[in-house]
Structure 1
Amino acid sequence: MSDLRIRPAATRDASAVLAFWRAAAEGVSISDDEDGVSRLVARDPEALLLAERDGTLLGTVVAGFDGWRCHLYRLAVHPAARRQGVATALLAAAEERFLALGGRRGDAMVLERNETARHAWRAVGYAREDHWRRWTKPLGGSAS
């Protein structure tokens, strides 16, 4: 994987990231639009990590740190690049970021129905915590 490049996304990457997620990610998020991605990059320029090879986007992960917890979202790898170490490289970069910021534990959002993702997270050392449940409320009248 020495030819794999991990870098933070820039605002100009928003449309390519959204297209990539439509092709490679499972599910959609309420923030999957140009404004949502651009806001993330503007708020925390190091949070959205991209994995590229020869300029082709192969994977993404959002590694957000709020000063208290280390949150991982939108880990996605192009289907043709799976099982080649892309997710492992992205998560290593995310974990390095968290450690540099003083983070203590990574917390991943994983769709319950996504069996492939659950195996991938387990393979890199993450474990499901059944005593937690996510509670959500759309803000500002948004649905989803």
Structure 2
Amino acid sequence: MTDLDIRCATLSDIDSVLRFWREAAEGTSITDDHDGVARLISRDPEALLLAERDGVLTGTVIAGYDGWRCSAYRLAVHPDYRRQGIAVALLEAAERRFLALGGRRIDAMVLESNELAHHTWGATGYHREDHWRRWVKSL
């Protein structure tokens, strides 16, 4: 995929990323706002990866690492660009980042109802662990 550019998001990308997620991502989060994304980019400027083709945002993934765990969030590909290897390229970029940081295992947050995503994650070597459950509390 030589015409695909993967780069780190900057603060100037926030509004386009939020618009993209509303169109391409499944579900919403309490942090899907300008301040939440700005905090992410400011704290870890290499965490939010963007895939672009001819200057058009086609995909995203958040590759977060806290020194203990590697976490993947917001893997999303625009519906017009799916099944072209963009998700695979984003995950490969995230995995390279994690390896460079010393990461040893990646946890991915995937909506239970997002069957299309289950196929993508499975096809790229990830497996579901049913013995874990996510516990959350909004602040």
Please give the TM-score of this superposition, normalised by the length of structure 2: 0.99
Q: Is 1:97 aligned to 2:97, yes or no?
A: yes
Cα deviation code 1:30-65 (max 9, x no counterpart): 100000111100000000000001110000000000
What is residue 11 of structure 2 aligned with on the other side? 11
What is residue 40 of structure 2 aligned with on the other side? 40
What is residue 50 of structure 1 aligned with on the other side? 50
| Residue 94 of structure 1: how far off its partner (Å) | 0.2
Please give the TM-score of this superposition, normalised by the length of structure 1: 0.96
What is residue 112 of structure 2 aligned with on the other side? 112
The size of the alignment, in residue pairs, is: 139
| Residue 100 of structure 1: how far off its partner (Å) | 0.2
Q: Identity percentage over the alignment?
A: 72
5+ long unaligned stretches in structure 2 = none
Cα deviation code 1:95-140 (max 9, x no counterpart): 000000000011100000000001110000000000000000011x
Runs of 4+ in 1 over 2 A off after TM superposition: none
5+ long unaligned stretches in structure 1 = 140-144
